Amino acid sequence: MGSAQQVLQTLLSGSVPNNEFASQPSALNATSASAAGPQSLLTFLFSFSSSFHDWIKLAILGAILEFARRTWAAAWAAFLASFFITAHFDGEDECYDWLMVFLSKKSSWKKANEVQVSTRNWSSSNRYQNDDQDIVIMDDPSGDLPMKGRTLSFLPSFGNTTTMFYKGRLLRVTRDRTQAAVGTEYVESLTLSILGRDQSILRELLLEAQTLHKSQEQNRVAIYIADNFSRLNMWRRRGAKARRPMSSIILDHEIKDTILEDARDFLRSSSWYADRGIPFRRGYLLHGSPGSGKTSLIHAIAGALNLDIYVVSLSKPGINDTTLNSLLCDLPSRSIALIEDIDAAFTRSINRDPPPMAHPGGLEHSGDMFRGGAGVTLSGLLNAIDGIYAQEGRILFATTNRYDVLDPALIRPGRLDMHFEFQPASSWQAREIFRCFYPASDSGSSEKLVSVEERDSLATSFSALVPEHLLSMASLQGYLVRYKTQPNEAAANIAKFVEAEKRKQERYPIDWRLGKDTSVALAAPRDS
């Protein structure tokens, strides 16, 4: 061992002559043999013992300094946070929209060094918009074409903290977004920190933001769609539409007024339902001709009752019994749930025809279960509508063009209480839609196309050429749009249009007359 150490020290120093190695072959052989052993490795390492100890000391000292730095930073942050009220808002929550509208109205964004500029439609029909700071980029400044452009909205940028003042108090705003996994949607979040320890200032800010948001939503109906992939809220806001007056719905007054009054009576009869142990739910089935105004009527009723619309598509990918039940249970108590084309959930064919070898009613039969093509079973749909977990206080509207494929268990009272048939346009409807399109000179409208007498005369001749229950209201509306300012031409050319539609229907027949059950269930008595 002594020889090995001597040779190792000699090698490290590099001062041994070549003849010395030649004179000591046995020592070299011993070194080669021992170099492969663990003792030689330890000897080599401990030859740097003094430097190794210095490294350990530096590492410990660095760790102590870093721990002290982090501790001080955490303590300082906690000390500052004790003077602030901090609130976090998820981008999928409705409060987030309130605050974005509120923040976009603050003048501080005019002085901010970093903002997000968006050309998306951030108006109240979608989310938020700052009318005072909007910049419109004109596509055709020459004036040859009507001006149009996109609106630039200034919003808080992601990943930055902006400081402003609210009622004399320091307010820090941080907007961020995260992605749970690659390929998934970004989830936005907002953090507000207000100087102070009283939460009343936060409540005042939220109340002001909510009031401002509602002021922009006046005379509008919010539209929500099902988002079964959301991690927090299964309903995602997709905009708001201007309320439609009931007078604009050209429909038989018996149908229009009956639905509206029954729905209004339902909303104020909660105690009547509770006293009698009846589930506080109401359902309406609108069936019949496509384009006859079913969805338009629902839109107008929502505006008249000041309710939002929650749209469910049973054929949407990912919708099954579990998600459908969760969606309907997550509805607000005062709202309208809309299931459009409820028959489409149980037919695979895109043209609504039942597939070969299917059940005659359009539903596939598997044992004792009817299963729709999108993963929703009839049993699951029934339980979602009026099961033990079903939401109360909501109004359900379902529409269909194929009344005959619906199972009797689905359309019974208690689930879909009242059924209304919508037929193609009558002569009376054709006359009224013509009168609506062309206001008379004394109607108070800015459009003064014809006199009252001339307008009424043209409307009468127009409706006389429209066969009873042949054309849909949508097709008549599409025709009149072509003659927006030409009532005489519209009345003169309607005969050609009717003949063209007849030939089209003869070539592509559509049998909408599937269910003639126009029975209406009695409404619940008014709450006394």
Residue 398, H or E segment:
strand 395-400
d(CA 429, CA 470): 12
Contact by Cβ (8 Å): 128, 97: yes
**At a CB cut-off of 8 Å and minimum separation 6, what does 287 contact?**
399, 400, 401, 402, 403, 419, 420, 421, 422, 514, 515
Contact by Cβ (8 Å): 410, 416: yes
DSSP bridge pairs for 371 = 364, 377
Contact by Cβ (8 Å): 179, 186: yes
Contact by Cβ (8 Å): 289, 401: yes
Amino acid occupying residue 393: G
Q: What is the pLDDT of residue 50?
A: 65
Residue 396, H or E segment:
strand 395-400
Q: Residue 415: how many CB atoms within 10 A of its CB?
A: 18
Residue 58, H or E segment:
helix 49-81
Contact by Cβ (8 Å): 234, 330: yes
* Phi, psi torsion values for 372, nearest 5 degrees: -80, 165
Q: How many CA atoms lie within 13 A of 346 on its CB side?
A: 27
Secondary structure tally for the chain: helices H, strands E:
16, 16
d(CA 300, CA 302): 5
d(CA 284, CA 338): 10
Instruction: Give me the DSSP letters along 121-190.
Output: --STTTS---TTS-EEEES-TTSSS---EEEEEEEEPBTEEEEEEETTEEEEEEEEEEESSTTSPEEEEE
Contact by Cβ (8 Å): 507, 500: no
**At a CB cut-off of 8 Å and minimum separation 6, what does 446 contact?**
none
Residue 304, H or E segment:
helix 294-305
Average pLDDT of the residues of the chain = 76
Kindly state the DSSP code that residue 312 receives in the 8-state scheme.
E
Estimate to the nearest angstrom the gap between the alpha carbon of 145 and the chain centroid. 35
d(CA 361, CA 365): 10
**At a CB cut-off of 8 Å and minimum separation 6, what does 162 contact?**
108, 112, 156, 172, 173, 174
**Residue 356, both tokens:** 């070969």
86-98 pLDDT tens trace: 899 988 788 888 8
d(CA 50, CA 480): 97
**Single pTM value for the model:** 0.68
d(CA 102, CA 104): 6
Residue ranges and CATH numbers for the domains of the chain are 84-218 (no CATH), 234-422 (3.40.50.300), 427-507 (no CATH)
d(CA 350, CA 502): 24
Q: How many CA atoms lie within 13 A of 319 on its CB side?
A: 27
Candidates 152, 167, 228, 162; CA nearest to 198 is: 167
Candidates 279, 234, 263, 256; CA nearest to 395 is: 263
d(CA 183, CA 477): 42
Instruction: Give me the DSSP letters along 400-430.
Output: ES-GGGS-TTTSSTTTS-EEEEEPSPPHHHH
* Phi, psi torsion values for 507, nearest 5 degrees: -80, -40
d(CA 431, CA 459): 5
Q: Based on the number of CB atoms within 10 Å of its own CB, is 174 exposed (0-12), middle (13-18) or buried (19 or more)?
A: middle
Task: Answer left, alpha or beta for residue 451, where phi above 0 means left and psi between -120 and 50 means alpha.
Answer: beta
Q: What is the pLDDT of residue 380?
A: 87
Q: What is the pLDDT of residue 7?
A: 47
**Residue 459, both tokens:** 């409307």
d(CA 387, CA 121): 39
pLDDT values of the chain reduced to their tens digit, one per residue, 528 residues: 455 455 445 544 544 444 444 444 444 454 454 445 666 666 665 665 667 677 888 889 899 999 999 999 999 988 888 888 889 998 878 888 888 888 877 777 667 777 777 665 444 444 444 444 443 443 444 444 444 455 566 777 888 888 888 888 888 888 888 877 676 677 888 999 998 888 888 899 999 988 888 887 778 898 988 876 555 557 888 878 888 889 889 988 888 999 999 999 999 999 999 999 999 999 999 998 888 889 999 999 999 999 999 998 887 777 888 888 888 888 888 999 999 888 876 654 333 444 444 444 444 433 333 344 447 888 888 888 988 888 889 999 999 988 888 888 989 998 999 999 998 999 999 999 999 888 876 555 555 567 888 888 999 999 999 999 889 899 999 999 999 889 999 999 999 999 998 888 888 776 555 444 444 433 333 333
d(CA 456, CA 64): 93
